[in-house]
Amino acid sequence: MSAAKTPTKQRGRPFKPGKSGNPSGRPFGSRNKASIAIEALLDGEAEALTRTCIDKALGGDMTALKLCMDRICAPRKDSPISFEVPQMESAADAVQVMAAVMTAVAGGNITPSEAHTLAGLIDTFRRTLETSDIEKRVTELEAVRR
């Protein structure tokens, strides 16, 4: 009995780099068939489904209640904060700016989490100022060297 040779399954990458089986890709704006089917099933039923969810929430169903509350009170997003901040013109000025942030936290004008976010922004701006200063110094040194 001779064993018939079966073709080996291709392993690895079936296409050469930069060349796919569908070079055009998925058409822009095309939608998933499952999403379209679900929308077709739900079409016209939104009001009845919403009423059922509300009724269940009023009846004590905690999952339905959470769903309703998430729609009524969306999770809080960032909101603008306002307080006096000294101008930052050099990396050394970061000390005064951070002191202003700490004063705002101590005074209850901003929350500690807002201060943490601001501290990250201040640090990024400080590093930007330092990088700019270093670039300026290197340029001046190269000009003197020529």
- In this prediction, residue 10 has a pLDDT band, given cuts at 50, 70 and 90, of low
What does the pLDDT look like over 76-92, one tens digit per residue?
777 788 888 889 998 89
Structure tokens at 135: 């670039």
pLDDT for the residue numbered 121 = 94
Q: What is the largest CA-CA distance in the chain?
A: 90
Question: Per-residue pLDDT tens for 85-111?
Answer: 889 998 899 999 999 999 999 999 999
Instruction: State the pLDDT at residue 100.
Output: 94
CA dist 58 and 51 (Å) reads 10
Instruction: Say how far apart CA 118 and CA 4 lie, in whole Å.
Output: 71
- In this prediction, residue 62 carries a pLDDT of 93
Give domain limits for the chain. Answer: 33-72, 91-145
- What's this model's pTM, rounded to 2 decimal places? 0.49
Identify the CA nearest to 104 among candidates 124, 126, 77, 122.
Answer: 122
For all residues of the chain together, what is the average pLDDT? 85
Q: How confident is the model at residue 1 (pLDDT cuts 50, 70, 90)?
A: low
The predicted-structure confidence for 26-38, as pLDDT tens digits, reads as follows: 787 888 889 888 8
The DSSP-derived string for 46-90 is: HHHHHHHHHHHHHTT-HHHHHHHHHHHSPPP-------------S
